[in-house]
Structure 1
Amino acid sequence: MAKPRTIGDEDYQTLAAFRYALRRFLAFSERAAKAQGLTAQQHQALLAMKGYGQDRPLAIGDLAEYLMLRHNSAVELVDRLVQAELVERLHAEGDRRRVTLALTPKAEAILQDLSTAHLEELRDSRTLLAQLLERLGG
Protein backbone atom coordinates (compact mmCIF):
# COMPACT_ATOMS: atom_id res chain seq x y z
CA MET A 1 0.00 0.00 0.00
CA ALA A 2 1.36 3.41 -1.01
CA LYS A 3 2.06 5.93 1.67
CA PRO A 4 -0.40 8.87 1.55
CA ARG A 5 1.08 12.10 0.20
CA THR A 6 1.71 14.74 2.82
CA ILE A 7 -0.31 17.87 2.25
CA GLY A 8 1.64 21.04 2.91
CA ASP A 9 0.69 24.66 3.44
CA GLU A 10 1.32 25.48 -0.24
CA ASP A 11 -1.16 22.75 -1.25
CA TYR A 12 -3.83 24.25 0.99
CA GLN A 13 -3.07 27.72 -0.37
CA THR A 14 -3.33 26.45 -3.95
CA LEU A 15 -6.65 24.74 -3.27
CA ALA A 16 -8.02 27.79 -1.47
CA ALA A 17 -6.94 30.08 -4.32
CA PHE A 18 -8.51 27.73 -6.87
CA ARG A 19 -11.79 27.59 -4.96
CA TYR A 20 -11.73 31.38 -4.72
CA ALA A 21 -11.19 31.69 -8.48
CA LEU A 22 -14.08 29.29 -9.11
CA ARG A 23 -16.41 31.20 -6.79
CA ARG A 24 -15.43 34.51 -8.41
CA PHE A 25 -16.20 33.12 -11.84
CA LEU A 26 -19.50 31.61 -10.70
CA ALA A 27 -20.52 34.86 -8.99
CA PHE A 28 -19.70 36.73 -12.21
CA SER A 29 -21.71 34.17 -14.18
CA GLU A 30 -24.74 34.48 -11.90
CA ARG A 31 -24.69 38.30 -12.18
CA ALA A 32 -24.33 38.16 -15.98
CA ALA A 33 -27.21 35.70 -16.30
CA LYS A 34 -29.41 37.80 -14.01
CA ALA A 35 -28.67 40.89 -16.10
CA GLN A 36 -30.09 38.97 -19.09
CA GLY A 37 -33.19 37.92 -17.13
CA LEU A 38 -32.01 34.34 -16.56
CA THR A 39 -31.12 32.23 -13.58
CA ALA A 40 -27.67 30.68 -13.51
CA GLN A 41 -29.27 27.27 -14.08
CA GLN A 42 -31.18 28.52 -17.12
CA HIS A 43 -27.94 29.91 -18.55
CA GLN A 44 -26.23 26.58 -17.94
CA ALA A 45 -29.05 24.77 -19.69
CA LEU A 46 -28.86 27.03 -22.76
CA LEU A 47 -25.10 26.61 -22.89
CA ALA A 48 -25.43 22.83 -22.55
CA MET A 49 -27.90 22.76 -25.44
CA LYS A 50 -25.64 24.85 -27.65
CA GLY A 51 -22.41 23.13 -26.66
CA TYR A 52 -23.64 19.54 -26.44
CA GLY A 53 -21.63 18.66 -29.53
CA GLN A 54 -23.13 15.27 -30.18
CA ASP A 55 -24.30 13.88 -33.50
CA ARG A 56 -27.88 14.04 -32.28
CA PRO A 57 -29.97 16.78 -30.71
CA LEU A 58 -30.11 17.08 -26.95
CA ALA A 59 -33.06 15.41 -25.20
CA ILE A 60 -34.29 16.23 -21.71
CA GLY A 61 -32.61 13.14 -20.29
CA ASP A 62 -29.31 14.25 -21.81
CA LEU A 63 -29.78 17.71 -20.32
CA ALA A 64 -30.50 16.21 -16.91
CA GLU A 65 -27.29 14.21 -17.07
CA TYR A 66 -25.25 17.15 -18.39
CA LEU A 67 -26.48 19.42 -15.57
CA MET A 68 -26.47 16.63 -12.96
CA LEU A 69 -30.20 17.04 -12.27
CA ARG A 70 -32.97 14.56 -11.68
CA HIS A 71 -35.09 14.06 -14.80
CA ASN A 72 -38.16 15.74 -13.32
CA SER A 73 -36.08 18.79 -12.34
CA ALA A 74 -34.80 19.04 -15.91
CA VAL A 75 -38.39 18.84 -17.20
CA GLU A 76 -39.38 21.75 -14.94
CA LEU A 77 -36.36 23.75 -16.09
CA VAL A 78 -37.22 23.12 -19.74
CA ASP A 79 -40.86 24.07 -19.06
CA ARG A 80 -39.68 27.47 -17.77
CA LEU A 81 -37.37 27.92 -20.76
CA VAL A 82 -40.20 27.08 -23.17
CA GLN A 83 -42.50 29.52 -21.36
CA ALA A 84 -39.82 32.23 -21.70
CA GLU A 85 -39.65 31.46 -25.44
CA LEU A 86 -36.00 30.41 -25.19
CA VAL A 87 -36.36 26.72 -26.04
CA GLU A 88 -38.58 24.65 -28.29
CA ARG A 89 -39.48 21.02 -27.85
CA LEU A 90 -39.22 19.06 -31.10
CA HIS A 91 -40.25 15.52 -31.87
CA ALA A 92 -37.37 13.43 -33.19
CA GLU A 93 -37.58 12.21 -36.76
CA GLY A 94 -38.57 8.56 -36.88
CA ASP A 95 -39.51 8.43 -33.18
CA ARG A 96 -42.32 10.78 -32.18
CA ARG A 97 -41.91 9.66 -28.55
CA ARG A 98 -38.42 11.17 -28.34
CA VAL A 99 -38.50 14.89 -27.61
CA THR A 100 -35.43 16.96 -28.36
CA LEU A 101 -34.64 20.54 -27.48
CA ALA A 102 -33.72 23.47 -29.68
CA LEU A 103 -32.76 27.04 -28.85
CA THR A 104 -34.90 29.83 -30.22
CA PRO A 105 -33.32 32.82 -31.97
CA LYS A 106 -34.00 34.83 -28.78
CA ALA A 107 -31.97 32.31 -26.75
CA GLU A 108 -29.20 32.27 -29.35
CA ALA A 109 -28.80 36.06 -29.05
CA ILE A 110 -28.78 36.00 -25.24
CA LEU A 111 -26.35 33.09 -25.18
CA GLN A 112 -23.98 34.83 -27.57
CA ASP A 113 -23.89 37.92 -25.34
CA LEU A 114 -23.36 35.83 -22.21
CA SER A 115 -20.70 33.66 -23.81
CA THR A 116 -18.76 36.67 -25.06
CA ALA A 117 -18.72 38.10 -21.54
CA HIS A 118 -17.78 34.74 -20.00
CA LEU A 119 -14.89 34.18 -22.40
CA GLU A 120 -13.57 37.64 -21.59
CA GLU A 121 -13.82 36.90 -17.87
CA LEU A 122 -11.90 33.65 -18.40
CA ARG A 123 -9.23 35.50 -20.36
CA ASP A 124 -8.93 37.96 -17.46
CA SER A 125 -8.52 35.01 -15.06
CA ARG A 126 -5.94 33.26 -17.24
CA THR A 127 -2.93 34.52 -15.27
CA LEU A 128 -4.29 33.34 -11.94
CA LEU A 129 -5.26 29.95 -13.35
CA ALA A 130 -1.84 29.54 -14.99
CA GLN A 131 -0.15 30.32 -11.67
CA LEU A 132 -2.27 27.71 -9.90
CA LEU A 133 -1.46 25.08 -12.51
CA GLU A 134 2.22 25.94 -12.22
CA ARG A 135 2.05 25.31 -8.47
CA LEU A 136 0.72 21.85 -9.27
CA GLY A 137 3.55 21.19 -11.68
CA GLY A 138 1.31 21.28 -14.74
Structure 2
Amino acid sequence: MAPVDDASPGAPLTKREFEALARFRFGIRRYLRFSEETVRRHGLTPQQYQLLLALKGFPDREWATVRELAERLQLRHHSVVELVDRAQGQDLVTRAANPDDARSVRILLTAAGEEVLGRLSALHRDELRRLDATLTPPTWGDSAFPAGGEPV
Protein backbone atom coordinates (compact mmCIF):
# COMPACT_ATOMS: atom_id res chain seq x y z
CA MET A 1 0.00 0.00 0.00
CA ALA A 2 1.37 3.41 -0.97
CA PRO A 3 2.03 5.86 1.88
CA VAL A 4 -0.47 8.65 2.32
CA ASP A 5 0.83 12.10 1.41
CA ASP A 6 -0.32 14.29 4.31
CA ALA A 7 1.17 17.40 2.71
CA SER A 8 -1.40 17.59 -0.09
CA PRO A 9 -4.85 16.54 1.12
CA GLY A 10 -6.67 17.24 -2.15
CA ALA A 11 -10.10 18.80 -2.49
CA PRO A 12 -12.01 19.72 0.67
CA LEU A 13 -14.65 17.26 1.83
CA THR A 14 -18.33 17.98 1.36
CA LYS A 15 -20.79 17.86 4.26
CA ARG A 16 -22.08 14.53 2.94
CA GLU A 17 -18.53 13.12 2.86
CA PHE A 18 -17.93 14.25 6.46
CA GLU A 19 -21.15 12.54 7.50
CA ALA A 20 -20.17 9.33 5.69
CA LEU A 21 -16.68 9.39 7.20
CA ALA A 22 -18.07 10.03 10.70
CA ARG A 23 -20.62 7.20 10.29
CA PHE A 24 -17.89 4.82 9.13
CA ARG A 25 -15.57 5.79 11.99
CA PHE A 26 -18.44 5.31 14.45
CA GLY A 27 -19.09 1.85 12.98
CA ILE A 28 -15.42 0.89 13.32
CA ARG A 29 -15.29 2.06 16.93
CA ARG A 30 -18.57 0.33 17.77
CA TYR A 31 -17.31 -2.93 16.27
CA LEU A 32 -13.99 -2.69 18.10
CA ARG A 33 -15.74 -2.05 21.41
CA PHE A 34 -18.04 -5.03 20.79
CA SER A 35 -15.00 -7.17 19.97
CA GLU A 36 -12.99 -6.12 23.02
CA GLU A 37 -15.90 -6.70 25.42
CA THR A 38 -16.88 -10.03 23.84
CA VAL A 39 -13.42 -11.60 23.88
CA ARG A 40 -12.82 -10.47 27.47
CA ARG A 41 -16.10 -12.11 28.54
CA HIS A 42 -14.73 -15.34 27.03
CA GLY A 43 -11.44 -15.11 28.95
CA LEU A 44 -9.16 -13.74 26.23
CA THR A 45 -7.53 -10.41 25.57
CA PRO A 46 -8.28 -8.65 22.29
CA GLN A 47 -4.66 -9.30 21.24
CA GLN A 48 -5.06 -13.03 21.88
CA TYR A 49 -8.19 -13.13 19.73
CA GLN A 50 -6.35 -11.28 16.97
CA LEU A 51 -3.48 -13.76 17.23
CA LEU A 52 -5.82 -16.74 16.89
CA LEU A 53 -7.64 -15.12 13.99
CA ALA A 54 -4.35 -14.28 12.24
CA LEU A 55 -3.28 -17.91 12.55
CA LYS A 56 -6.55 -19.42 11.32
CA GLY A 57 -6.84 -16.84 8.56
CA PHE A 58 -3.26 -17.11 7.36
CA PRO A 59 -3.33 -17.67 3.59
CA ASP A 60 -2.83 -21.18 2.26
CA ARG A 61 -1.68 -22.91 5.46
CA GLU A 62 -2.58 -23.63 9.08
CA TRP A 63 0.49 -22.08 10.74
CA ALA A 64 2.63 -18.95 10.70
CA THR A 65 6.00 -17.82 12.01
CA VAL A 66 6.43 -15.15 14.65
CA ARG A 67 7.79 -12.81 11.99
CA GLU A 68 4.70 -13.32 9.82
CA LEU A 69 2.41 -12.82 12.79
CA ALA A 70 4.24 -9.63 13.74
CA GLU A 71 3.54 -8.31 10.25
CA ARG A 72 -0.12 -9.38 10.32
CA LEU A 73 -0.72 -7.95 13.79
CA GLN A 74 1.43 -4.86 13.19
CA LEU A 75 3.41 -5.56 16.36
CA ARG A 76 7.09 -5.84 17.14
CA HIS A 77 8.68 -9.29 17.06
CA HIS A 78 9.29 -9.42 20.82
CA SER A 79 5.67 -8.41 21.54
CA VAL A 80 4.43 -11.32 19.43
CA VAL A 81 6.81 -13.71 21.23
CA GLU A 82 5.28 -12.61 24.56
CA LEU A 83 1.76 -12.90 23.14
CA VAL A 84 2.48 -16.42 21.86
CA ASP A 85 4.02 -17.36 25.23
CA ARG A 86 0.84 -16.29 27.06
CA ALA A 87 -1.44 -17.99 24.51
CA GLN A 88 0.63 -21.17 24.74
CA GLY A 89 0.30 -21.04 28.52
CA GLN A 90 -3.50 -21.08 28.04
CA ASP A 91 -3.25 -23.99 25.56
CA LEU A 92 -4.52 -21.83 22.69
CA VAL A 93 -1.44 -22.24 20.46
CA THR A 94 1.56 -24.49 20.24
CA ARG A 95 5.02 -24.24 18.74
CA ALA A 96 6.45 -26.79 16.31
CA ALA A 97 9.78 -27.08 14.55
CA ASN A 98 9.85 -25.55 11.09
CA PRO A 99 11.43 -28.17 8.80
CA ASP A 100 11.96 -25.53 6.10
CA ASP A 101 13.88 -23.08 8.33
CA ALA A 102 15.62 -24.20 11.52
CA ARG A 103 15.90 -20.54 12.64
CA SER A 104 12.12 -20.20 13.05
CA VAL A 105 9.26 -22.15 14.56
CA ARG A 106 5.73 -22.68 13.38
CA ILE A 107 2.92 -21.35 15.54
CA LEU A 108 -0.26 -23.46 15.32
CA LEU A 109 -3.69 -23.38 16.91
CA THR A 110 -4.51 -26.10 19.42
CA ALA A 111 -7.91 -27.79 19.56
CA ALA A 112 -8.84 -25.46 22.44
CA GLY A 113 -7.71 -22.45 20.38
CA GLU A 114 -9.77 -23.63 17.41
CA GLU A 115 -12.84 -24.07 19.61
CA VAL A 116 -12.73 -20.64 21.26
CA LEU A 117 -11.85 -18.95 17.98
CA GLY A 118 -14.81 -20.60 16.24
CA ARG A 119 -17.21 -19.43 18.94
CA LEU A 120 -15.85 -15.87 19.03
CA SER A 121 -15.62 -15.50 15.26
CA ALA A 122 -19.27 -16.54 14.82
CA LEU A 123 -20.24 -13.77 17.27
CA HIS A 124 -18.06 -11.29 15.35
CA ARG A 125 -19.61 -12.32 12.04
CA ASP A 126 -23.09 -11.77 13.44
CA GLU A 127 -22.14 -8.33 14.77
CA LEU A 128 -20.66 -7.35 11.39
CA ARG A 129 -23.93 -8.33 9.76
CA ARG A 130 -25.81 -6.07 12.21
CA LEU A 131 -23.41 -3.19 11.49
CA ASP A 132 -23.42 -3.71 7.71
CA ALA A 133 -24.64 -0.26 6.67
CA THR A 134 -22.61 1.54 9.33
CA LEU A 135 -19.41 -0.16 8.19
CA THR A 136 -19.84 0.63 4.51
CA PRO A 137 -16.76 2.65 3.52
CA PRO A 138 -17.53 6.18 2.36
CA THR A 139 -17.52 7.00 -1.32
CA TRP A 140 -15.68 10.13 -2.34
CA GLY A 141 -16.77 12.72 -4.89
CA ASP A 142 -14.85 11.28 -7.83
CA SER A 143 -15.57 7.64 -6.93
CA ALA A 144 -19.32 8.08 -6.43
CA PHE A 145 -19.84 7.24 -10.10
CA PRO A 146 -18.09 4.04 -11.23
CA ALA A 147 -17.14 3.28 -14.82
CA GLY A 148 -20.78 2.49 -15.76
CA GLY A 149 -21.87 6.02 -14.86
CA GLU A 150 -24.48 5.01 -12.26
CA PRO A 151 -24.20 6.30 -8.70
CA VAL A 152 -22.97 3.86 -6.07
Query: TM-score, normalised on structure 2?
Result: 0.81
Give how far 1:93 is off.
1.8
Q: Identity of aligned pairs, percent?
A: 38
User: Relative to total residues, which structure has the larger helix share, 1 or 2?
Assistant: 1
Q: Count how many residue pairs are aligned between Structure 1 and Structure 2.
A: 136
Pairs within 5 Å for 1:77-116:
77-116=83-122
| Change beyond 3 A, Cα 1:70–1:81 | same
Distance in 1, Cα, partners of 2:9 & 2:121: 44
Report the AA paired with residue 48 of structure 1: A
Which of 32, 35, 57 aligns to 2:38? It is 32
Structure 2: tracts of 5 or more residues without a match:
1-7, 145-151
Distance in 2, Cα, partners of 1:114 & 1:56: 18
Larger RCO (CA within 8 A; separation ≥ 6): 2
For the pair 1:19 / 2:31, whether they are aligned, the reply is no
Once superposed, which parts of structure 1, at least 4 consecutive aligned residues long, lie more than 4 Å away? 132-136
Query: Is the 1:91–1:97 Cα contact (8 Å) retained in structure 2?
Result: no
What CA deviation, in whole Å up to 9, does each residue of 1:38-85 have, x standing for no partner?
010110000000001135730000000100001011111011001111
- Root-mean-square deviation (CA), in Å? 2.2
